[in-house]
Amino acid sequence: MRLLRFIPIQLTLFLVIGILIGHYLNVESTTMFVATLLGIITLALLFIRKKPRGSLAYPIVVALTTVFMGMLAVSLSMPKNQPNHYSHFNTYQKELWLLKVREILKPTPFSNRYVVDVKRMDSLQVSGRIVVSILTDSATQSLDVDNEILTYGILDTISPPMNPHQFDYRQYLEDLGIYHQLQLKNNEFAITKTRSTTLHGLAAKLRNLIIAKLEKAHFGADELAIIQALLLGQRNDLSEATYTNYKDAGAVHILAVSGLHIGIILLLLQFLLRPLELLPHGRTLKLAIILILLWAFAFLAGLSASVTRAVTMFSFVAYALYLNRPSNTFNILALSMFAILLVVNPNLLFQVGFQMSYAAVFSIVWIYPLFQKLWSPKNGILRKIWQLLAVSLAAQVGVVPISLFYFHQFPGLFFISNLLIVPALGLILGMGILVIVLALLDLLPDFLVTIYDTLIFWMNAIIAWVAQQEAFLFKNISFDGVQMIVAYCVLISLVWCLITPTFKRMMGLGLSIIAFQAWLFYISYQTQKKEVLFVGHQTRNSVLIHQKGSQLFVMAQDTNRIKPMATNYQIGEHIASIKYSPLKNSYEWQNSQILVIDSLGLHAPKEFRPDYVWLTQSPKLNLNRLIDSLQPRFIIADGSNYKSYIMRWSETCDKRKLPFHYTGEKGAYYFKEKP
């Protein structure tokens, strides 16, 4: 509880509250600017009048001003609130676009994908970012960071999820300030000759040069992909199998250059540069060199958002180590979060990497000392093993609620993979930096390549072995946002009780546990009384999903392809069991009749009057005659039909003034109770 008395922690909490309010209410920038300015003026007046600092005026005004600052930061960070954003001028017709490549995304089997800055729209100088997808063929030109292209096209909106509880890619991009996409063929754009170089472009050039040098050293394919991920922040070449192994083993954080890597590099630099402390002003010189080298590594890793965030955070940690005051660690971490959210990007608060990084670091700083007090072995080797295990446990405890909320799985053997890999990660990172430097100088010896390649190979092998222990991998865990928040209340209350057990803290822990259980009972009650039926969307497949309480009945043409969609729905709705079966020709639900017409085009008897006609597998039929014969109330078409058929059916229904729903445009269709 004493942590909340620190002013930096209080200010950061109020800033977070302001960001949350601003994110969900979307308050106008001008209003928040005036509110923030009035708050600052009020503080100045209180200071001039020498208002007693013990009064409530100071903390209330400071708190409100900080909240207003958070709301203002969110409002200013929204690209659509910027006057020269392209969306204010976009007519959704063909426009001439000048685009500059900012980031290369992982390609799909059919296209190369890029995040680009919008520089011009026709003759207007505009700003903003979009995603560009270029269909791949034998003549496809690959683009580099800082390439500028000219193209003539129409921006597309990013589609929302077509099915319930599906990953919302549109919302993910909106949190990054991206609202539109542009799909091009190879002959629909031209690379301009003018090219201004940015810091990101220089970093990408250096990274590409390093990758080219490493490729000449004949590392194994999987090993080279891991090296690129660990040291260069480049995960595009990782195979799906390798990524899945790391995820199932609870070691996926190793593949992203983030707080773990920067923290290990900081510790290495602290150790290697310790002799500088013997010089006059040596500690200050040591801090300066550490900060320079940390940011040099961030440049090497491409200055991605996650790397920049991690280096910023650990720059503050390096300063805390320089002060050599353990009690200041929480203040410094809070200040780093405050600076990143206010200066860099307040929307980072909603990114899972940011949340997990700070949750892990705060947990280590707070919980690790408790583990050390719990047991301190006298044997040196055993003590080091326990310290590593304690750090891993502390970090994992801090991120478990977030991990369950986003990924819905828990690797039971995470401590084994972390115990075996994390101690060696310092050696792997240190040797990797040496390998890169020698490769750039063309001085990389073959024996070092062999040693490093073997080291990465065995790391992959250990991770693969841990991932294969499926009995210890708990998947498909239903865990919503409320459970995550209440779980953190339970965790914080428990730690407070372990530090200093008091009656109030024990009461807080008990109430938190009761709240968690009450929410579980509420979810179970809501699930048991819920019943829905809907047509899902999947390309080249027909899907009907029926939830009845905690049971899910999935009817599909291809039940194997539909399992990921059904699993997502099961997790989101807290379903206990799933039953799969093939589609039938007709269904009855809530006194409504549903007729399914597939590629055979078989109709129901004339006396049958369905309320819904569901068209699947592109049936060859005359829709006008079908409507005259069956007189349905609604026509539904799913993703298994040809687009040309969909267009024709839509036009027919428009002329007949009959409701028509295509799942590929409007998403899943929920059947309604017959009036």
Residues 557-576 pLDDT 10s: 888 889 989 999 999 999 98
- Residues 71-89 have pLDDT tens digits of 999 988 887 778 888 888 8
Per-residue confidence band for 208, with pLDDT thresholds at 50, 70 and 90 = confident
Q: Which of 319-323, 397-401, 453-457 has the lowest mean pLDDT?
A: 319-323
Which CATH number belongs to the domain containing residue 133 in this structure? 2.40.50
Q: Is residue 437 part of a domain?
A: yes
If asked whether residues 522 and 535 sit together in one domain, one would say: no
B/e letters for 371-401, b = 16+ CB within 10 Å, e = fewer, are beeeeeeeeeeeeeebbbbbbbbbbbbbbbb
Which domain-ending residue is among 432, 456, 474?
474
Which residues does 601 contact at the CB level (< 8 Å), separation at least 6? Answer: 619, 620, 621
Please count the structural domains in the chain: 5
Q: Is residue 550 part of a domain?
A: yes
Joined tokens for residue 521: 């009972």
If asked whether residues 151 and 95 sit together in one domain, one would say: yes
Q: Which domain holds residue 596?
A: 531-670
How many Å apart are CA 658 and CA 463, to the nearest integer? 57
Residue 506 φ/ψ, nearest 5 degrees? -65, -40
Res. 604: pLDDT tops 80: no
Burial, 8: exposed, middle or buried (Cβ in 10 Å; 0-12, 13-18, 19+)?
Answer: middle
Contact 602, 585 (CB under 8 A): yes
Residue 167 φ/ψ, nearest 5 degrees? -60, 130
Q: Is residue 214 part of a domain?
A: no
If asked whether residues 412 and 280 sit together in one domain, one would say: yes
Q: Is residue 210 part of a domain?
A: no
C-alpha dihedral (333, 335, 338, 341), degrees to nearest 10: -60
Residue 96 bridge partners (DSSP): 152
H or E, element range at 130: strand 129-135
Choose the most confident range, by mean pLDDT, from 321-325, 423-427, 438-442.
438-442
Joined tokens for residue 220: 């194994």
pLDDT for the residue numbered 139: 66
pTM: 0.83
If asked whether residues 371 and 248 sit together in one domain, one would say: yes
Region 607-633: mean pLDDT is 88
Q: Is residue 387 part of a domain?
A: yes
If asked whether residues 29 and 98 sit together in one domain, one would say: no
Contact 532, 670 (CB under 8 A): yes
The number of C-alpha atoms within 13 Å of 97 and in the hemisphere containing its C-beta is 33
If asked whether residues 173 and 191 sit together in one domain, one would say: yes
Q: Is residue 291 part of a domain?
A: yes
If asked whether residues 268 and 334 sit together in one domain, one would say: yes
pLDDT for the residue numbered 132: 93
How many Å apart are CA 541 and CA 561, to the nearest integer? 8
Res. 148: pLDDT tops 80: yes
Contact 554, 545 (CB under 8 A): yes
If asked whether residues 486 and 558 sit together in one domain, one would say: no
Rg (CA), the chain: 29
If asked whether residues 628 and 640 sit together in one domain, one would say: yes
B/e letters for 409-446, b = 16+ CB within 10 Å, e = fewer, are bbbebbebbbbbbbeebbebbebbbebbebbeeeebee
Which residues does 285 contact at the CB level (< 8 Å), separation at least 6? Answer: 276, 279
Q: Is residue 380 part of a domain?
A: yes
Region 311-324: mean pLDDT is 82
Strands 124-125, 111-121: pairing is: antiparallel
If asked whether residues 385 and 411 sit together in one domain, one would say: yes
Region 412-420: mean pLDDT is 70
If asked whether residues 544 and 502 sit together in one domain, one would say: no
Q: Is residue 205 part of a domain?
A: no
If asked whether residues 579 and 635 sit together in one domain, one would say: yes
How many Å apart are CA 84 and CA 120, to the nearest integer? 10
Which domain-ending residue is among 438, 456, 474?
474
Which domain-ending residue is among 45, 77, 109?
77
